Amino acid sequence: MTRVLMIAYHFPPLAGSSGIQRTLRFVQQLPEFGWQTAVLSTHTRAYERTSDDLLAEVPAGTPVRRAFALDTARHLRLGGRYLGWMARPDRWVSWKFDGVRQGLQLIRDFRPDVIWSTYPIASAHLIGAALHRKTGIPWVADFRDPMAHNGYPADPLTWKSFHAIEQLAMRDASRCVFTTPGAAQMYRERYPEAAERIVVLENGYDEESFTSVKPAAMASGAGRPLVLLHSGIVYASERDPTQFFAALGNLQRSGRLTPADLKVRFRAAVHEQLLRDLAARHGASEFIEISPAVPYREALAEMMSVDALLVMQASNCNAQIPAKVYEYLRAGRPILGLTDPVGDTAGVLRGAGLPDIVPIDAVEAIEAALPPLVARWRAGDTVLPRTDAVRSASRRGRSEAMAALLTQVLGRT
């Protein structure tokens, strides 16, 4: 059996990020396709929140090493501040040093055929590049999403460090992997010399996780408000709900839609005060329900039980698709997409037969769309994801594609 060393910050027992699922399911499923896995991650102190609910899903016997790591923002703050260079390219850059040491030990013990590192923690690629350079083992850089692009990161020095990592990967990695066609095309244009090594491997959902849960019970009765759920992090820029809240406030003031008709639940949003402040500013507080994070399977059960699901993605992320969208598809509920109609997120929704897509930054369009949409949902006139689109988004299929990609790196196909 061939072997791959996987370098990932996002790994159980980290809690509160859907980014865990990509690495965890590869670790679970790659052995079915001939690849044994080992994992290099950070010490758990580096995680802001932890939960044991996914630890049992790491296959017994999987080698997992955890490098010494600190979160600059929490552990190295003095007087409420920290030096910027200590958090470039990210707040967990301290794991790079012990990560290389632990990685070399893992390579001696585990003897991997390929090294794989995964963003969005950019320092993982620094470790992958260093181990590749020291050992000559082929390296696959899993970018998932674009790193340095217009306006992101906002800090110019952090942007410069991201750009340098991109250049390093495009030069040295055997494959550079993205989760959307738009991101892959962006990088083929940016780095034409690496175009043949840039590939797409989308995110997905884990079928076994869904089949192990039952939808949560919902209150019945025609008098209750419908529940529209956003499950996951809300960002001030990339998933800005400002115009959505403004539309809700306008609708309530005009009487076209009231909190008795609709409740918008934000589950595990992280930036909860941002939501409260924006909702209060726009007169939408009575529509909004802010709920804490729950274990992964409880979150899936909730997705399957609510009246509809909400995805938000701004036009500055047109080449990105929230990983949660694939779980939304499997949950089998109506989906409202507040996103740029020409972006990749809208493309996934349309590809699944879902027509309810409204620009996230267009107050009037949101105002016009919501009342008839809520009325349709209330009447049971719903459009659900197409079965074939759901089936094709399974993570098992993604793991099979990952195994084929790793085999190609070794030149065996």
The residues pairing with 67 across neighbouring beta strands, listed in sequence order, are 42
* 170 and 29, same domain (yes or no): yes
How high is the pLDDT of residue 63? 97
- Does 267 or 150 have the greater pLDDT score? 267
Is residue 383 domain-shared with residue 398, that is, in the same domain? Answer: no
Residue whose token pair is 């049992």: 56
| pLDDT for residue 412 | 64
Q: Is residue 289 part of a domain?
A: yes
**295 shares a domain with 148:** no
Residues 175 and 53 in one domain: yes
What angle is formed at CA 27 by the lines to CA 25 and CA 29, rounded to 5 degrees? 65
User: Mean of the pLDDT values across residues 185-192?
Assistant: 96
Higher local confidence (pLDDT), 265 or 411: 265
Per the CB < 8 A criterion, the answer to whether 162 and 147 are in contact is yes
One domain for residues 158 and 236: no
262 and 404 inside one domain: no
Please check whether residue 209 lies inside any domain of the structure. no
List the domain range (segments joined by +) for residue 305. 217-390
Burial profile 219-244: b = 16 or more Cβ within 10 angstroms, e = fewer: eeeeeebbbbbbbbbbbeebbbbebb
Q: Are residues 252 and 302 in the same domain?
A: yes
Residue 210 within any structural domain of the chain: no
Q: How far apart are CA 219 and CA 331, in angstroms?
A: 18
Same domain flag for 195 and 301: no
Domain membership of residue 223 (yes or no) is yes
> Same domain, yes or no, for 249 and 298?
yes
179 and 262 together in one domain: no
Reported for 378-381, long-range contacts at CB under 8 A and 24+ positions apart, including other chains, are 378/222, 378/226, 378/261
**Dihedral of alpha carbons 257, 258, 261, 262, sign:** positive
How many domains, in total, are found in the chain?
Answer: 2
Provide CB contacts within 8 A for 198, sequence distance 6+: 175, 176, 178, 184, 187, 188, 191
In a domain, 281, yes or no: yes
- Percent of the chain past pLDDT 70, that is, above it, reads 98
Mean pLDDT of 76-91: 89
The verdict on residue 234 lying in a domain is: yes
Q: What is the pTM of this model?
A: 0.85
| 413 pLDDT more than 90 | no
- Residue 71, pLDDT > 60, answer yes
Domain for residue 156, yes or no?
Answer: yes
Kindly state whether residue 211 falls inside one of the protein's structural domains.
Answer: no
Beta pairing partners, 312: 338
* Mean pLDDT estimate for the chain: 94
Q: Which two tokens stand for residue 85?
A: 């260079």
The pair phi, psi for residue 356, each rounded to 5°, is -85, 85
pLDDT (tens digit, 9 = 90+) per residue, 152-164?
898 999 999 999 9
Same domain, 271 and 400: no
Of the ranges 141-155, 206-220, 269-283, which one carries the lowest mean pLDDT score? Answer: 206-220
Token pair 């679970």 in the structure block, residue: 28
279 and 371 both lie in a single domain: yes
The domain that holds 46 is classified in CATH as: 3.40.50.2000
